[in-house]
């Protein structure tokens, strides 16, 4: 993801309180800083595989069928068989804290990717983290609407919904500098069916 896209994702997560509207979410708050995080695990079973088109028909744990296309970057697709179990783990977190006056802004971005080596069971993962210092422009304490400038001086406005984030907003004043830290992780693994 580009740093602008990550900033927008962090803003959305901050505004919503969670990236999934409350699915499997937990909230942590320390004195001063605040954090909201989500972890979602999706399970599915492989129904069919069309190697010519690289499409895989999956059945979710709730019984719904859906098709995914395995692009050329997916290695070892030929090892996948009907009945194999697919697990997708997704984690998202956003944390905010006051920027220390006169201190350097946090590092901006880090990312890593993983995919199975040739011959291994198909698997992949990705990690992205972004930190940015923003400047608060205005706060509407009645609606928890916060407007702020990003490092490129673009104006963003979010409505904060999660209570720990609202507690943080109550401490803000125009001109405050806030460090926003956003992390997103995705892992996909495929385990063989019990034979």
CB-based contact 7:176 (threshold 8 Å): no
Domain membership flag for residue 55 = no
pLDDT for residue 27 is more than 80: no
Distance CA 26, CA 38 (A): 6
Domain membership flag for residue 62 = no
Tokens of 175: 């001109």
| Range(s) of the domain holding residue 118 | 3-38+91-191
Read off the pLDDT of residues 44-67 as tens digits, 9 standing for 90 and up: 999 999 999 999 999 999 999 999
CB-based contact 81:58 (threshold 8 Å): no
Read off the pLDDT of residues 113-141 as tens digits, 9 standing for 90 and up: 999 999 898 899 999 999 999 999 999 99
pTM over 0.75: no
Domain membership flag for residue 179 = yes
Domain membership flag for residue 140 = yes
The number of domains in the chain is 1
Domain membership flag for residue 78 = no
Task: Give SS3 for 83.
Answer: coil
């Amino acid at each position: 993801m580009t740093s602008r896209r990550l900033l927008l994702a962090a803003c959305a997560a901050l505004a919503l309180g969670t990236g999934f509207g409350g699915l499997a979410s937990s909230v942590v708050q320390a004195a001063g800083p605040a954090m909201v995080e989500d972890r979602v695990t999706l399970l599915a079973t492989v129904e069919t595989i069309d190697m010519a088109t690289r499409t895989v028909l999956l059945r979710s744990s709730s019984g719904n069928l859906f098709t995914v296309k395995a692009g050329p970057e997916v290695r070892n697709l030929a090892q996948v068989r009907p009945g194999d179990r697919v697990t997708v783990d997704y984690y998202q977190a956003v944390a905010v804290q006051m920027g220390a006056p006169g201190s350097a802004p946090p590092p901006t971005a880090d990312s890593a990717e993983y995919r199975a080596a040739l011959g291994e069971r198909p698997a992949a993962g990705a990690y992205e983290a972004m930190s940015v210092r923003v400047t608060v422009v205005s706060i509407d304490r009645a609606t928890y609407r916060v407007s702020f400038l990003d490092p490129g001086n673009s104006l963003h406005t979010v409505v904060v919904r999660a209570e720990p984030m609202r507690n943080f907003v109550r401490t803000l004043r125009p001109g405050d500098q806030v460090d926003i830290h956003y992390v997103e992780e995705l892992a996909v693994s495929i385990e063989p069916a019990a034979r």
